[in-house]
Amino acid sequence: MTAAERTQVIPVGAVTREPTPVRAEPTPLRSEPARAETDYEPDNAEETKPKKKRTGLIITCAVVVVLALAAGAVFLVPGLAEKLGIKKGEAEVAIAPPPAAVQFTPTLHGAGADNPAPTPAGVQAALAGPASDAVLGSLTGKVIDPISGEVLFAQNADTTLVPASTTKLLTSAAALLALPHAEQLTTKVVAGDKPGTVIIVGGGDPTLSSLPAGKNSVYPGAAHLDDLVAQVKAKGPVHTVLLDLNRYTGDSLAKGWEQPDIAGGYIAPMVPAMLDGGRADPTKDTSARAANPGRALAEEFAKRIGATVPEKNATTIAKPDAQVLGEVRSAPIVELVDNLLQHSDNVLAEAMAREVAKGTGNEVSFTGATGAVLKTLTDNGFDVSTVKLNDGSGLSTLNLVSAALLAEVLRVAAAPDGQDPRTAKLRPLLGGLPVAGGSGTLASRYQGPNAAGGKGWVRAKTGTLSNVNSLAGVVLDKDGRVLVFALMSNGSNPADARPALDAVAAALRQCGCR
């Protein structure tokens, strides 16, 4: 054994034993008699109980020994200390003082009424170039400061043009004003007149998902068909499935719609019960749609439950007091509005327009829906005297809307809290607007040099048809002031007009405009 080892070994017998403390006689509790001396622990209690303390001490000593041996080995094993870069008797390594704190000056400014306000002259100067681009054809537009209500820019703003999908702003606004935001749409299955016959009762929800639980379609939060099937199956055997589509009346296609848009994946015939908005692929926004989405739902339900749908006479009207065998609910209205704005979903927009009609006591058809949307806006103080609507989605080429109306709806939605009683109901419009270069229908836009400055700052609803392009939303300028805008272009090529409209909105972001 080496000298180094001998100096580190501490024999177990060398541990000094602590003296046994003198025990004071305990004071007896009132509730129990004093114990006899024989009840106390014996004098050798230290030999029986405190062994844990001694064991801990021994382990501690052993750890010290191991560490010391390891430390000694570093210097005793030839070359090991040098390999580790350690020199015997080396002084402690000097630790450099921490660097000075980084001075951070924020470049982002929060939106607020205290931020510098742009002037009409400043905004008009900023937009003079982008708004005069010839590729925009006939351009109308309006820019408003929602805090002050001041009009900062107006170009033929009261002229009505074909709006395309910016129509959805009007439909969504009417839905948020007329319907409870937490309301949900219900799809039910009730018992038919004959045993084994069931009836799917359409409740206006086009988002019912064909996917299994845990997988999302293009409609987040949608109810699942499998859930409905399981509820009905638990009530007994089913051999025949029928449909009640009585919630809607009138034509299933609007004036101004084109039949190829169904196969093209932009629209489905409007019925109050369908799967995935009638899509062939429930995970894609644009996917071929079913020509008869109601029957497609019934057949899929029948397939999963082990029943059939009659070739003829598959529709009926369920009795009001029919036994409910199962029901599922959609996401709340406010979430459906958010979804239809983000992805410009035509079917969902038409469903919302019809719910406005039903909620206000009007006929649940295209005529009743568009009439109910306009009346709801009128009743809430919006001037719709020059507006013409044939649908709620903007797919119709016969719609006519002004930039002034779109901008005014957004102005109210973006107004300061408490300034306008309509604002609280319309505020969700802003959250549903796609983000430039980031989400929804604006995800792939704002990439060019003239528009890149608006990326991440512009939020807007898009609109595109042949020779029709529109953009309406909000933007935070460089001084942190929120501005609302509406831009409409007719007689323009979408490939050229869309980046040109993006450049106009980006110019609003780039200026303080004073």
Catalytic residue set: 165, 168, 344
Centre a 10 Å sphere on the Cβ of residue 416 and count the other Cβ atoms it contains: 13
Which CA distances in Å does 278 have to 63, 202, 206, 299? 72, 14, 8, 13
Q: What is the DSSP string of 343-366?
A: HT-HHHHHHHHHHHHHHTT--SSH
Distance CA 330, CA 322 (A): 22
Distance CA 286, CA 492 (A): 23
Using H for helix, E for strand and C for coil, what is the string for 482-497?
Answer: EEEEEEEEECCCHHHH
CB-count burial class (<10 Å; 0-12, 13-18, 19+) for 405: buried
Phi and psi for 6 in degrees, rounded to 5?
-65, -35
Contact 309, 282 (CB under 8 A): no
The SS3 call for residue 384 is: coil
310: left (phi over 0), alpha (psi -120 to 50) or beta: beta
Pull the structure tokens for residue 142.
């309006």
- The owner of tokens 């709340």 is 332
Pull the structure tokens for residue 422.
């309509």
Distance CA 267, CA 256 (A): 12
Contact 143, 484 (CB under 8 A): yes
Contact 510, 478 (CB under 8 A): yes
**DSSP conformation class of 315:** B
Contact 435, 342 (CB under 8 A): no
Pairing of strands 458-465, 468-476: antiparallel
Pull the structure tokens for residue 166.
């910016």
Distance CA 39, CA 180 (A): 76
CA angle 491, 493, 496 (to 5 degrees): 130
Longest dimension (CA), the chain: 110
* End-to-end C-alpha distance for the chain, whole angstroms: 89
Contact 174, 373 (CB under 8 A): yes
Pull the structure tokens for residue 132.
């005069």
Contact 165, 462 (CB under 8 A): yes
Single out the residue of 443, 341, 355 nearest to residue 394, CA to CA. 341
